[in-house]
Amino acid sequence: MSTTNDRLDGAEAIATYLGKKPRWVYQAREQKWPVPIRKREGMGIYAFKSELDSWLQGDDALPHCPST
């Protein structure tokens, strides 16, 4: 279960956590990569650290995703 401290708000926070550039976060959403990044009306883009960590360790992490 995700907690408030687990949440990353905005592309910059998500990108920093993943070691990517903010554009990568938008590209992941636009290209529909299976990255657990969410967007809700009025909330903007957000993700949970625990879900990102699980994704990075799973088979769904995309080896062909650009690193920048």
Predicted model pTM: 0.79
Q: What is the pLDDT of residue 14?
A: 97
pLDDT in tens, 39-61: 988 889 999 999 999 999 887 66
Q: What is the pLDDT of residue 51?
A: 95
Mean pLDDT of 32-44: 90
Q: What is the mean pLDDT of the chain?
A: 86
Which residue bears the tokens 């687990």? 6
**Nearest to 47, CA basis, from 14, 1, 4:** 14
* Model confidence at 27: pLDDT above 90: yes
Cα Rg, the chain, nearest whole Å = 11
* Model confidence at 5: pLDDT above 60: yes
Query: Which residues, in sequence order, are CB contacts of 45 under 8 Å at separation 6+?
Result: 9, 10, 11, 14, 25, 26, 29, 37, 38, 39
